[in-house]
């Protein structure tokens, strides 16, 4: 099975509150390049090993290990294959919209699965329950017993509960870069405006006026919240939308650049390379090799 990683937009399948990916086999697979998305990602290794880059560090995951990747965190991954040894890894992606519906102050929280020697007894028990929940989810997927989707739905929420009850903490104020309808209603409106108009020519004055801000006040508040300037955020969104089109269409870069709001292909290539560490052409070639 080829390892496929969903990026950026995370649709909910059926009645499950997550998009899930089961990666298993013995064949070598291409690494997942650096990227980020709004979803909360949780990975659990049931067999084999994986290497995950996140926040400037590389983590080696073995069977029984789990790792949470918070919304908008830049990360990359590689399944480590060995001769005659198979791997089995489950990835859950919880859409940010679902998280806000369940946890209104989600933007103020960060999930971190502490190393085994730093866990409290309660955390150690919860960590073991996480692994059991992922393993049971896999077993249900393979056997499809009666009402298995109901059981899987319960497991999805159990995993989320275990994470936030036992492994969440408050973010530092300067890292709460996810606008929240409650704590930053106008800033959420700004992000919503950008997401609706990123494909059009945008500038700071236009965005500020449309959302009822002075340009200077919006620029300062947005940078303090997102750790990105307003136009850096616009560029990042355009690069992410371009990645989606590279996954789903065979259109030339000039068409994709125009479709997502870049004035010329070079601007797309520069932004894409800065965000993900490779050019759109290199990413497209990588995608073709996976397929």
In 3D space, the residue among 218, 192, 224, 145 whose CA is nearest the CA of residue 38 turns out to be 192
Kindly tell me the burial class for residue 165, based on how many C-beta atoms sit within 10 Å of its own C-beta (0-12, 13-18, 19 or more): exposed
What residues contact residue 214 under an 8 Å CB cut-off, 6+ apart?
208
Mean pLDDT computed over every residue of the chain: 82
Alpha-carbon separation of residue 54 from 33, 64, 94, 232, 247 (angstroms) = 11, 19, 18, 21, 23
Structure tokens at 157: 């929420």
Least confident range of 78-82, 142-146, 152-156, 167-171? 78-82
Over residues 45-90, the pLDDT tens digits come to: 999 998 988 767 888 999 999 999 988 777 888 877 665 568 899 9
Residue 249 — very low, low, confident or very high, per pLDDT cuts 50/70/90? confident
Residue 174 — very low, low, confident or very high, per pLDDT cuts 50/70/90? very low
Q: Are 104 and 165 in contact (CB under 8 A)?
A: no
What residues contact residue 221 under an 8 Å CB cut-off, 6+ apart?
187, 213
Q: What are 127-135's contacts with CB under 8 Å, separation 24+?
A: 127/66, 127/166, 129/158, 129/162, 130/44, 130/66, 130/159, 130/162, 130/163, 131/44, 131/46, 131/64, 131/66, 133/158, 133/159, 133/162, 134/44, 134/46, 134/66, 134/90, 134/159, 135/46
pLDDT greater than 70 at residue 253: yes
Neighbour count for residue 160 (Cβ, 10 Å): 21
Output the CA torsion sign for 97, 99, 103, 109.
Answer: negative
Whole-number Å distance between alpha carbons of 122 and 163: 12
What stretch of H or E contains 40? strand 40-47
Least confident range of 77-81, 148-152, 175-179? 175-179
Task: Give phi and psi for 3, each to the nearest 5.
Answer: -80, 120
CA atoms within 13 A on the CB side of 136: 17
Query: What is the signed CA dihedral for 259, 261, 263, 264, rounded to 10 degrees?
Result: -50
Task: Kindly tell me the number of DSSP H helices and DSSP E strands found in the chain.
Answer: 10, 10
pTM of the model: 0.61
The more confident residue out of 265 and 9 is 265
Structure tokens at 253: 């870069």
Tell me if residue 19 falls in helix, strand or coil: strand
Q: Are 156 and 92 in contact (CB under 8 A)?
A: yes
């Amino acid at each position: 099975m080829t390892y496929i990683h969903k990026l950026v937009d995370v649709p909910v399948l059926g009645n499950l509150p997550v998009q899930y990916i089961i990666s298993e086999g013995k064949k070598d697979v291409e690494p997942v390049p650096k990227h980020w998305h709004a979803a909360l990602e949780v990975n659990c290794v049931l067999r084999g090993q994986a290497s995950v880059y996140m926040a400037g560090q590389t983590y080696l995951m073995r069977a029984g290990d789990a790792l949470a990747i918070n919304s908008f965190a830049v990360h990359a991954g590689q399944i480590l294959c060995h001769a005659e040894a198979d791997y089995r890894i489950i990835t859950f992606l919880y859409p940010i919209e679902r998280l806000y519906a369940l946890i209104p102050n989600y933007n103020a929280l960060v999930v971190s699965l502490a190393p085994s020697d730093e866990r409290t007894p309660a955390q150690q028990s919860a960590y073991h329950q996480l692994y059991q929940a992922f393993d049971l989810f896999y077993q249900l997927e393979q056997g499809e017993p009666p009402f298995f989707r109901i059981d899987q739905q319960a497991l999805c929420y159990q995993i989320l509960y275990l994470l936030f009850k036992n492994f969440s903490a408050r973010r530092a104020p300067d890292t709460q870069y996810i606008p929240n309808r409650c704590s930053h209603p106008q800033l959420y409106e700004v992000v919503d405006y950008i997401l609706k108009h990123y494909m059009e020519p945008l500038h700071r004055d236009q965005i500020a006026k449309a959302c009822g801000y002075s340009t200077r006040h919006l620029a300062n508040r947005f940078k303090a919240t997102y750790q990105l300037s307003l136009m850096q955020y616009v560029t990042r969104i355009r690069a992410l939308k371009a990645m989606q089109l590279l996954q789903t269409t065979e259109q030339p870069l000039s068409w994709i650049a125009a479709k997502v709001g870049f004035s010329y292909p070079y601007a797309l290539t520069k932004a894409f390379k800065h965000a993900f560490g490779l050019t759109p052409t290199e990413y497209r070639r990588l995608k073709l090799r996976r397929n």
